[in-house]
Amino acid sequence: MSVTEGVLETEEQTALRSAVAALGRRHGRDHDHEALWAEAGKLGYLGVNLPAEYGGGGAGMAELSLVLEELGAAGCPLLMMIVSPAICGTVIARFGTDAQKRAWLPGLSDGSRTMAFGITEPDAGSNSHRITTTARRAADGWILSGSKVFVSGVDIADATLIVGRTEDARTGTLKPCLFIVPRDAPGFHRTPIDMELTAREKQFELTLDEVRLPADALVGDEDAGLLQLFAGLNPERIMTAAFALGMGRYAIERAVRYAKERQVWKAPIGAHQAIAHPLAQAHIELELARLMMRKAAVLYDAGDDTGAGEAANMAKYAAAEACVKAVDQAVHTLGGNGLTREFGLAALVTASRVARIAPVSREMILNYVSHQTLGLPKSY
């Protein structure tokens, strides 16, 4: 066993990384999304973090983030991995009823079913305390009303895990709760958002117009509140870091290959320090971000939600910044070729910004670290 395997990764994780990388290379940048998703599910990669008794791999977020990173490094990231197995699968596995686990986890594990996640609202932004989507009790269950925005993949998902708020009978205050809303539920409407970003997964604005749900649509304990919500948000940040790392590694690999082959005068352009040093720096920053992502995943899998929350935010921030820098430097390395479709880097200029913005902006992460980690006072 190597030092890397013994300290940073187990032998099984290293073998998983190699196997997923091979799968990614077989499919590549021009992959068929459905075919890749189906094969990754059949091989057990999509649900590697979910309980074995429900068809998953019985591993954790460390393994799932590894899968997404390697697929991204091969040029074929699967964005819905962030949402379906990481957020929704984790929440249901940790807090769902036995019936909910039986109904959803096998399909989320093998990829035959997918679930979207709706939390962001037009007026609330990153402030989960201002969510206005409300759920009120009815004789036969719940009624949801409200709206969501920038929800990925609703059109291809079997259901959406919606964050709503219910009224505490004792205090009258609103508390966050999670509800499974089927795609075809009456009153559940979706409108596609016209995005400049080119991606298979479309973005939607959702309207919940008195959506009636059965009692068992509620996931977990109505009184658990933020505990259950952040059980899904920490994996979301870890997986966003993996998404960014894979993208950054792909860009650097393309740039390094080009810099070794492209010759203008007597030597390949990669021999010039003006090209070599920025690529080396981008690589270093990606590797540093990967270490923080690894820390966040290990803490999360160990059940340290508080420690994982801090590390997951830091990992997402670091990976996003490193990814943007890597893509920018890769495009500069290729010059005009960096903007051609042939080399596959131009689209990443826009895509790399996603990790800076979603699922939470870098400024909100800096707020979190300054307040929660450093203990500085709030300005709001």
Q: In this structure, what CATH number is given to the domain that contains residue 16?
A: 1.10.540.10
Residues 159 and 175 in one domain: yes
Residues 128 and 209 in one domain: yes
Instruction: List pLDDT tens digits, range 146-160.
Output: 999 999 999 999 999
pLDDT tier for residue 169 given thresholds of 50, 70 and 90: low
Residues 65 and 132 in one domain: no
Predicted pLDDT of residue 200: 79
Predicted pLDDT of residue 232: 85
Region 61-71: what's the mean pLDDT?
98
Alpha carbon separation from 58 to 14, 49, 62, 305 (Å, rounded): 16, 6, 12, 19
Residues 177 and 236 in one domain: no
Question: Which among 84, 113, 142 is the end of a domain?
Answer: 113
The dihedral formed by the CA atoms of 299, 303, 306 and 307, expressed in degrees to the nearest 10: -20
Region 337-358: what's the mean pLDDT?
92
Q: In this structure, what CATH number is given to the domain that contains residue 248?
A: 1.20.140.10
Question: Which among 162, 196, 219 is the end of a domain?
Answer: 219
Q: In this structure, what CATH number is given to the domain that contains residue 138?
A: 2.40.110.10
Q: How far apart are CA 76 and CA 375, in angstroms?
A: 40
Question: Which among 92, 113, 134 is the end of a domain?
Answer: 113
Instruction: List pLDDT tens digits, range 68-97.
Output: 999 999 999 999 999 999 999 999 999 999
Output 261 or 223, whichever has higher pLDDT: 261
How large a percentage of the chain has pLDDT more than 70? 94
pLDDT tier for residue 197 given thresholds of 50, 70 and 90: confident
Phi, psi dihedral angles at 359 (to 5 degrees) = -80, -5
Region 188-205: what's the mean pLDDT?
89
Examine the pLDDT at 257 and tell me if it is beyond 60.
yes
- Domain annotation covers residue 360: yes
Residues 233 and 207 in one domain: no
Q: Whose CA is closest to 63, among 83, 80, 85, 32? A: 85
Q: How far apart are CA 205 and CA 151, in angstroms?
A: 7
pLDDT tier for residue 191 given thresholds of 50, 70 and 90: very high
Residues 285 and 174 in one domain: no
pLDDT tier for residue 3 given thresholds of 50, 70 and 90: very low
Which domain covers residue 85, as residue numbers?
3-113
Instruction: List pLDDT tens digits, range 8-40.
Output: 899 999 999 999 999 999 998 888 899 999 999
Residues 175 and 143 in one domain: yes
Residues 276 and 150 in one domain: no
Examine the pLDDT at 126 and tell me if it is beyond 80.
no
Lowest mean pLDDT among 10-19, 120-129, 184-193, 331-340: 120-129
Instruction: List pLDDT tens digits, range 227-243.
Output: 777 788 999 999 999 99
Examine the pLDDT at 307 and tell me if it is beyond 70.
yes
Output 7 or 201, whichever has higher pLDDT: 201
Q: Could you give the number of structural domains in the chain?
A: 3
Contact (CB, 8 A) for 369 and 314: yes
What is the rounded average pLDDT for all residues in the chain?
92
Residues 87 and 197 in one domain: no
- Domain annotation covers residue 380: no
